[in-house]
Amino acid sequence: MKNDLPPESALQPDAPFYQPAGDEITIFEQAWRNHLPLLIKGPTGCGKTRFVAHMAARLGLPLYTVACHDDLTAADLVGRHLIGDGETVWCDGPLTRAVREGGICYLDEVVEARKDTTVVLHPLADDRRLLPIDRTGELLQAPPSFMLVVSYNPGYQNLLKGMKPSTRQRFVSLRFDFPTSVREEAILRGETGCDADLARRLVNIAGALRALKDHDLEEAASTRLLIYAALLIKAGMDPVAACRAAVVESLTDDTEIVDALMEVVSATFGR
């Protein structure tokens, strides 16, 4: 088979900021070069989507991102006929566009989609790399540069919304988690340009709040929320108010828990 993928030297240096945790960049690149689909699993806000955006830019590939939900159907991914100006026109969905263009199709929280979507993915996620479009009679062969990437949060899984083993075993898999303190501080500084002291304080707050996960909080404080707080503080907002708006209120609706979390924030900023 002809390999028309770009050489290593063609990788783009101006990708969106991403602070590696380990060998995930190498795994992604090698999965892409070997025409393998990739599954990324990890908690909300730990950098899964940013990582995929970084890799798409790094590889110089178009990226089609789909936020999966309960009502997402196979037609939403593949495409449908639309009526306009008195005629019926076929309109490709994001999955079909990614296949035609040889880009990356990223399905975020794939387990949230309806079960019929996984049937569409199966022939793309094995050595066939085919996308059948029943409504047009086409059978698209994915080009070498096409890649299918999916993600989900294992913490949300249950018996009704888990990924079937027969589907999961079609993918190379990466496990993401919240970064170490040192790496998270570097991420905050790289994303927002904040100083080292502010990054350290925000990361300390996150560490304290994450210790409450599965006790008082349904979801842990994400790196994404810390970035929001840093941006508000850099814009001149009071640090305690910024942390309440960007972090604490996003974690819970319970006023008593909000008050308890705000004690951590106030203590960190010396109030």
18 with 64, same domain: the answer is yes
Q: Let me know if residue 128 belongs to a domain.
A: yes
Report the alpha-carbon distance of residue 29 to residue 60 in Å, rounded: 12
If residue 205 lies in a helix (H) or strand (E), which one and from where to where? Answer: helix 196-210
Answer whether residue 134 shows pLDDT above 90: no
Q: For residue 171, how many other CB atoms are within 10 A of its CB?
A: 20
* Bridging pattern class, strands 87-92 and 38-41: unpaired
CA distances from 261 to 115, 204, 210, 224, 254 (A): 38, 13, 11, 18, 11
Per the model's pLDDT, the better-predicted residue between 247 and 2 turns out to be 247
pLDDT at 63: 97
18 with 91, same domain: the answer is yes
8 A C-beta contact, residue 43 and residue 90? no
Report the alpha-carbon distance of residue 39 to residue 24 in Å, rounded: 12
% of the chain with per-residue pLDDT over 90 = 61
Q: Let me know if residue 232 belongs to a domain.
A: yes
Final residue of a structural domain among 175, 201, 220:
175
User: Which residues pair with residue 254 across a beta bridge?
Assistant: none
pLDDT at 70: 86
Contacts of 48 (CB under 8 A, 6+ apart): 40, 42, 108, 151, 176
Q: Let me know if residue 3 belongs to a domain.
A: no
**Residue 143, domain CATH:** 3.40.50.300
Report the alpha-carbon distance of residue 194 to residue 186 in Å, rounded: 10
Residue range of the domain that includes 88: 8-175
207 with 120, same domain: the answer is no
pLDDT at 71: 87
pLDDT at 2: 42
Of the listed ranges 3-12, 154-163, 227-236, the one predicted with least confidence: 3-12
Q: Let me know if residue 153 belongs to a domain.
A: yes
- Report the pLDDT averaged over residues 126-140: 91
Full-model pTM: 0.83
Q: Let me know if residue 1 belongs to a domain.
A: no
Number of separate domains in the chain = 2
91 with 144, same domain: the answer is yes
pLDDT at 3: 47
Report the alpha-carbon distance of residue 150 to residue 48 in Å, rounded: 10
25 with 136, same domain: the answer is yes
Of the listed ranges 38-47, 83-92, 213-222, the one predicted with least confidence: 213-222
DSSP string of 7-26?
A: PGGG--S-PPP----SSHHH
162 with 193, same domain: the answer is no
8 A C-beta contact, residue 54 and residue 65? no
Final residue of a structural domain among 175, 209, 242:
175
212 with 246, same domain: the answer is yes
Q: Let me know if residue 2 belongs to a domain.
A: no
Tell me which residue has tokens 């941006």: 231
Let me know if 146 is exposed, middle or buried by CB neighbors in 10 A (0-12, 13-18, 19+): buried
- Report the pLDDT averaged over residues 118-136: 90
90 with 129, same domain: the answer is yes
Give pLDDT tens digits for 165-216: 888 889 999 999 989 999 999 999 999 999 999 999 999 999 999 887 655 6
- Report the pLDDT averaged over residues 56-83: 91
109 with 187, same domain: the answer is no
Q: Let me know if residue 71 belongs to a domain.
A: yes
20 with 126, same domain: the answer is yes
14 with 143, same domain: the answer is yes
124 with 50, same domain: the answer is yes
CA dihedral 108, 157, 41, 75 (to 10 degrees): -30
If residue 65 lies in a helix (H) or strand (E), which one and from where to where? Answer: strand 63-67
pLDDT at 150: 95
Question: What are the φ/ψ torsions at residue 197 (nearest 5 degrees)?
Answer: -65, -45
Nearest to 248 by CA among 271, 267, 270, 222: 222
Final residue of a structural domain among 142, 175, 208:
175
Answer whether residue 246 shows pLDDT above 60: yes
Q: Which range, 35-39, 85-89, 125-129, has the best average confidence (pLDDT)?
A: 35-39
Let me know if 117 is exposed, middle or buried by CB neighbors in 10 A (0-12, 13-18, 19+): buried
Q: Let me know if residue 43 belongs to a domain.
A: yes
Give pLDDT tens digits for 5-50: 555 444 555 678 888 889 999 999 999 999 999 999 998 888 999 9
Per the model's pLDDT, the better-predicted residue between 79 and 15 turns out to be 79
- For the chain, give the mean pLDDT: 88
Answer whether residue 257 shows pLDDT above 50: yes
